[in-house]
């Protein structure tokens, strides 16, 4: 098995490489930045599995993968747990949180072997699936009195929690309850259009009127005609939110 590593921490890279070699995995390429990784060129064709860090010195790996899909299995290695959903939407075999053990790494490699050893047709089918992209939610049911109506997600400006209920605010400036939790919704929405700014709110990118600096290194998001609680971007999500805005 041949592997490539993308990791910007020298100690972490050397540790991962040593563990892989102990597990009889040949590391044929390594990079400490997205620029170096992109320059690997022909070596990519010989790689069986990638080990990718997420936060690099020159950007976020998911943005790179949108522009340059690898079409090979990926095992993500990161210190951040909030990217598990994005990793799942990539061609991901496993998501290892640092500091992971040799046993964790061995288990991830076993997943790779179970899926792809002597199953080229299965692998090709999975690649096609990920190339086509996930099927994101396109509509959502809302309650209007005793009636139920289905509206397209393009009309949704904000999804938020209120008194243990999930609410949907539409472009018309009205809010309606829905029969699905906010956490469940977050896994079904197109991450290019929707961003969960905190545990209780998801905003739609076209609905954002302005973003203001808030206290303690946080940000406040303004959407049209909103008079509820301030929509605050959680401190740990500020950098990702800025990247998402473009």
- Domain count across the chain: 2
- Identify whether residues 154 and 80 lie together within a single domain: no
- Identify whether residues 59 and 149 lie together within a single domain: no
- Identify whether residues 128 and 11 lie together within a single domain: yes
187 secondary structure, DSSP code: T
pLDDT-based confidence at residue 131 (cuts at 50, 70, 90): low
Q: Which of 78, 106, 132 delimits the end of a domain?
A: 132
pLDDT over 70 at 218, yes or no:
yes
What kind and span of H or E run contains 91? none
* Domain encompassing residue 66: 2-132
pTM: 0.51
pLDDT recorded at residue 125: 58
> Where does the chain show beta strands of DSSP type E?
2-6, 26-31, 49-52, 55-56, 59-60, 74-78, 92-97, 139-144, 147-152, 156-162, 165-170, 175-178, 194-198, 201-204, 210-213, 219-222, 231-233
What is the number of H-type helices and E-type strands within the chain? 8, 17
In CATH, what number is assigned to the domain containing residue 89?
A: 3.40.50.2300
**What is the spatial distance between Cα 31 and Cα 29, in angstroms, rounded to a whole number?**
7
pLDDT digits (tens, 9 = 90+) for 87-101: 777 778 899 999 899
pLDDT digits (tens, 9 = 90+) for 53-91: 999 988 899 888 888 888 889 999 998 877 777 777 777
Q: Which of 80, 97, 132 delimits the end of a domain?
A: 132
Q: Which of 87, 102, 132 delimits the end of a domain?
A: 132
- Identify whether residues 115 and 185 lie together within a single domain: no
């Amino acid at each position: 098995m041949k592997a490539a590593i993308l990791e910007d921490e020298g100690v972490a890279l050397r540790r991962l490489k040593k563990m892989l070699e102990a597990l009889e995995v040949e590391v044929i390429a390594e990079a400490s930045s997205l620029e170096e990784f992109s320059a690997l060129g022909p070596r990519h064709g010989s790689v069986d599995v990638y080990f990718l860090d997420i936060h690099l010195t020159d950007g976020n790996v998911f943005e790179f993968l949108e522009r340059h899909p690898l079409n090979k299995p990926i095992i993500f290695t990161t210190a951040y747990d909030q990217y598990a959903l994005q990793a799942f939407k990539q061609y991901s075999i496993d998501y290892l949180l640092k500091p992971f053990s040799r046993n964790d790494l061995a288990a991830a490699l076993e997943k790779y072997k179970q899926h792809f050893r002597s199953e080229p047709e299965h692998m090709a089918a999975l690649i096609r699936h990920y190339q086509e992209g996930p099927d994101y939610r396109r509509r959502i049911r809302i309650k209007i009195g005793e009636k139920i109506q289905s509206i397209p997600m393009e009309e949704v400006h904000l999804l938020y929690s209120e008194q243990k209920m999930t609410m949907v605010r539409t472009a018309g400036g009205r809010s309606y309850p829905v029969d699905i939790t906010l956490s469940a919704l977050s896994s079904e929405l197109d991450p290019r259009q929707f961003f969960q700014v905190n545990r209780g709110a998801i905003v739609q990118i076209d609905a954002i009127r302005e973003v203001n600096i808030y206290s303690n290194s946080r940000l406040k998001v303004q959407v049209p005609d909103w008079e509820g609680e301030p929509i605050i971007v959680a401190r740990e999500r500020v950098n990702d939110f800025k990247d998402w805005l473009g």
